Amino acid sequence: MERGTGQAPAHERYFEREHEQLDAQLHAHLLDVVGGDFSSALQRLREWRAALARHIEIENTQLLPHVPEGARWAARVYRVEHDRIELLADEYLDKVRAAAARPAQDERTRRAAILALVDGAHALRHVLEHHHEREHTALAHELPLPLQQAAWGAEPSRR
């Protein structure tokens, strides 16, 4: 937090804003899963997956080429994590797609499908959480603010 402002330092705001938007989309998807609305859950997950792909593309092409020598983690580490996140996201999308294609015939089956999807999202959420933390604590500090602004757009809102 910046002194007396109650907000993250400027170098963290761009990544925070982007990650908060992605997290909100995934959260909305999970609420649909928990409610058993697999059709809506699938649509929200597709939207989240597209947003995630755009996010990763921006990082890979506009930001990671500028990771300085001596950075806490090399650009390669972030790229490997991006690959892992995309793999987990696609595997999870397949599970949600299958659940949406096979409506449950009874309440017990519906609940089992919900639980399987919640469990299926766990590894993805865990990797995302650690990846975002790595970016907030290192990458956001190591890349120049003008570069972040050019990649992510206008100044993040001051919360």
Strands (E), the chain: none
Q: How confident is the model at residue 9 (pLDDT cuts 50, 70, 90)?
A: low
Q: How confident is the model at residue 104 (pLDDT cuts 50, 70, 90)?
A: confident
- Reading the block at residue 117, the tokens are 């999807």
Question: What are the residue ranges spanned by the domains of the chain?
Answer: 11-152
Q: 156 pLDDT exceeds 70?
A: no
For 11-152, CATH number out of 1.10.287, 3.20.20, 2.60.40, 1.20.120 equals: 1.20.120
Whole-number Å distance between alpha carbons of 155 and 146 = 10
Whole-number Å distance between alpha carbons of 35 and 29 = 10
The neighbour count for residue 42, using CB atoms within 10 Å, is 20
